[in-house]
Amino acid sequence: MFYRLSGVHHTRYETARQIWPVPTDRRVVYILLALALAAPLYLPDLYLSSYVLPWLVWSAAALSLTLLMGIAGQLHFGFAAVMAIGAYSSIHLARAGVPFELALIGAGVITAVIGTLFGAAALRVKGLYLVMATLAMQYLVDWVIINVPAISGGAQATLNTPEVSFLFMPLSGTGLYYGALLWAVIVTVFVLNIKRTSFGRALVAIRDKDYAAAVIGVNPFKYKLLAFFTASFLGGISGAVLAFCYYQAVTPEQFGFNVSIQLVAMVLVGGLGSVIGAYLGAGFVLLAPMFLTNAVAYLAVWGVLPLSSSLLAHIPLMVYGLLIVGFILFEPLGLAKIYDNIRKYFLVWPFRHTQS
Amino acid sequence: MDIAYFIELLINGALTGMMYGLAALGIVLIYKSSGVPNLAQGAMVMLGAYFAWIAAAQWGIPLPFAIALAVVGMFLFGLFTERFLLRRMVGQPIIMIVMLTLGLEILLRGLGPGLFGAAPKSLDIGIGLAPIIIGDVFINRSYLVGAIVGVIMIGLALLFFRTRLGTKLRAVSDDHVASWSVGISVERAIAISWGLAGASAVAAGVMWGSVQGIDWTLSLLLFPAVAVVILGGLDSIYGVLVAGLIVGILGSVIPGYVDPIVGGGTRDVVTSLIILLTIIFRPHGIFGREDIERV
């Protein structure tokens, strides 16, 4: 009815290989893209710059992390440090007079090289120990950034981003939004397609069982490092885009350990390894506490909530924790699974069952 | 660089290390029985401290009974956490379990200060502030008491594993299915280990709370505790003792000499490096059991 299909049935390999086997999905994506492109026309500046823009950049970051954690199966609890390396490298490159386009790529390469060192631990251990190792690296990177004045510009310093232009367009006003949108689209297209390449399939094999992958001729050494390299490259540029388009300044606190946890929460709440999940998860984790804080403040002003101020101040943190716990307990596959269930329901509506 | 300064750093580091061990004990107890890395232990330490503070300062119960009450409360809290959160996670990938405990940590970190007020609470357990002076060396009295409590708790844990119940717990840590088949209730054993972890969190919370005040920063103990656990081996109680000493001493002596040069914060770096180097060179720690993975 809505999808004008009675389930998805492949009769040729070409259709099975398509990104969007269902035409309606493709149309929905086009509509969303058009809406995103036209957003500055119908959304107030406040919403655009303080909600939509960070959502897009965080989605790109969550996509990079989901590539590493969901597709390649390498757990990473220090991804904020990776983004910090990207942000700081890009700012220093841009300040040194490197054109912004090259500064972004340079930041990506620097981050990828350092991020691959993170991955060196992955060659030796996995699972829980990898979590601990990357967590320790997060603290190390934080410390180096804070304590080396050449990087952070001093102990409590804030580095403002210089005025830059991207492809001859000055990066300001709505240009910031389009920069973030462009980066989100690039990462999305990349991650969507990587699952269809031999590289992506090798990563999936490593995720499922690295010994078994080695037996069928996938080199775990090479592909684990490549996974870290690719994800760090994307994560580094996401950090740079975040710094230039959203914060317009960097301080070490923007990329602390809590941000790493937040990124993992985005990936898990959205659904591990899912592209749409990264968007939904980033939106949920980022925006739910914002809206909640506003709602609580609103209710408190009207005196509806007779609660102490310290409790009110901590409600967002509690809800954030509850959100993580709740999703893992009740929907481990995340928002992507919820979306998928709804989509499958409408795929064959008014009938009940579908095969795929 | 006189020798007294070094000895002072050494001794106070060793004492702090034993207090880290106090916080780390809970993680080992839980990992040993169920293989769950409890990253909420820091928040449980915080909660234990809050419980003791409420009983002692708010309700006016004498301190020993207040602590006993807190132990009972945290034991129950541990049981409930296991029953309603972790038991549902059996068979899930490790990332889910790690993230669940981290989510619990965040939740408790909001809940504790939210319910009891964010300002640091002081818990006076009757230890004077005056340091003990031996020769030229100043020893922090509360650290000394904390370290003694730490050694006692670790000793008790070691003794506990020799009792009938402890033997069951050791059997469970060896093999869940085999334990079931000889009639040991694995669920109950894991629940008890969570309860004991909660109880040991009270000890850690009271000792650390008396030193630095009770607020959410107590949950930051998680990081040194994790270092202790990784270095000592995730399932070794002896490991907590030895690694606690190592982490405490290195985390005191190295910052003592390096901090004035680089401007602070070296302790976290030392802790991170301990975790990192342990994982690269000996992932299962000093006393831990090496995992054998089957395809």
Inter-chain touch B96–A136, beta carbons under 8 Å: no
Rounded to a whole number, what is the distance in Å from the CA of B157 to chain A's nearest CA? 24
- Give me the mean pLDDT over the A294-311 stretch: 72
pLDDT of A280 > 90? The answer is yes
Give the residue-averaged pLDDT of A242-264: 87
The alpha carbons of chain B give a radius of gyration, in whole angstroms, of 19
Domain positions in chain B are 15-217
Look at the domain A42-347 and name its fold.
ABC transporter involved in vitamin B12 uptake, BtuC (1.10.3470)
Q: Which of A15, A57, A9, A35 lies closest to A248, judged by CA?
A: A57
Give the mean model confidence (pLDDT) for residues B57-73: 88
Query: What is the DSSP annotation of B225-276?
Result: HHHHHHHH-TT-HHHHHHHHHHHHHHHHHHHHHHHHHHTS-HHHHHHHHHHH
Collect all residues of chain A within an 8 Å Cβ-Cβ radius of residue B103: 265, 321-325, 328
Closest Cα partner for B269 from B219, B223, B208, B222? B223
Minimal Cβ distance to A146: which of B115, B265, B280: B265
Cβ-count burial of A91 within 10 angstroms (0-12 exposed, 13-18 middle, 19+ buried)?
buried
Tell me which residue in B89, B118, B295 faces A310 most closely, judged by beta carbons. B118
pLDDT in tens, A3-51: 777 667 788 888 878 888 788 888 889 999 999 998 888 888 888 888 8
Task: Using pLDDT thresholds of 50, 70 and 90, give the confidence band for residue B245.
Answer: very high
Q: What is the pLDDT of residues A134-156, one digit of tens each?
A: 988 898 888 888 888 777 776 66
pLDDT reported for residue B140: 80
Which residues lie closer than 8 Å to A109 by C-beta, 6 or more apart?
A233
- Which one of A147, A211, A314 has the shortest CB-CB distance to B263? A147
Tell me which H or E stretch contains A252. Answer: none
Length of chain B: 295
Domain boundaries, chain A: 42-347
- State both tokens at A114: 């350092």
The pLDDT assigned to B86 comes to 87
> What percentage of chain A carries pLDDT values higher than 90?
31
DSSP alpha helix (H) spans, A155-256:
174-194, 198-208, 210-215, 220-241
pLDDT band of residue A354 (cuts 50, 70, 90) is: low
Q: To the nearest whole angstrom, how far is the Cα of A296 from the nearest Cα of chain B?
A: 14
- Return the residue in A137, A139, A207, A305 with the most chain B beta carbons within 10 A, the one to mutate for interface testing: A139
Mutate to test the interface with A, among B46, B106, B216 (most CBs of A within 10 A): B106
Supply φ then ψ for residue B123, to 5 degrees: -120, 110
Give me A215's structure tokens.
Answer: 């037996």
- Asked if omega into A99 is within 30° of 0 (cis), the reply is no
Q: Collect all residues with Cβ–Cβ distance below 8 Å to B56 and sequence separation of at least 6.
A: B62, B63, B66, B67, B123
CB within 8 Å: A143 and B268: yes
Average pLDDT (B100-121) is 87
Residues of B in contact with A265 (CB under 8 A): 99, 103
Q: Which of B80, B99, B101 to mutate to test the interface with A (most CBs of A within 10 A)?
A: B99
B195 burial level (CB within 10 Å; 0-12, 13-18, 19+)? buried
Question: For residue A304, what pLDDT is reported?
Answer: 63
A312/A309 Cα distance (integer angstroms): 5
User: Which residues of chain A lie closer than 8 angstroms to B223, CB-CB?
Assistant: 139
Taking a contact as any Cβ pair under 8 Å apart, which residues of chain A between 47 and 76 contact chain B?
Answer: 69, 75
Kind of pairing between the strands at A159-160 and A249-250 = antiparallel
Instruction: Kindly report the backbone phi and psi dihedral angles of residue A160, in degrees, each rounded to the nearest multiple of 5, phi listed first.
Output: -80, 145
- Answer yes or no: do B275 and A325 touch at CB < 8 A: no
Task: Give the one of B108, B109, B283 whose C-beta lies nearest to A125's C-beta.
Answer: B283
pLDDT in tens, B175-196: 888 888 998 888 888 999 999 9
Question: A317: distance to nearest CA of chain B, Å?
Answer: 5
**Do B107 and A325 count as a contact with CB atoms less than 8 A apart?**
yes
Question: Region A223-228: what's the mean pLDDT?
Answer: 92
* Chain segment B118-152, per-residue pLDDT in tens: 788 887 777 766 777 777 777 888 888 888 888 99
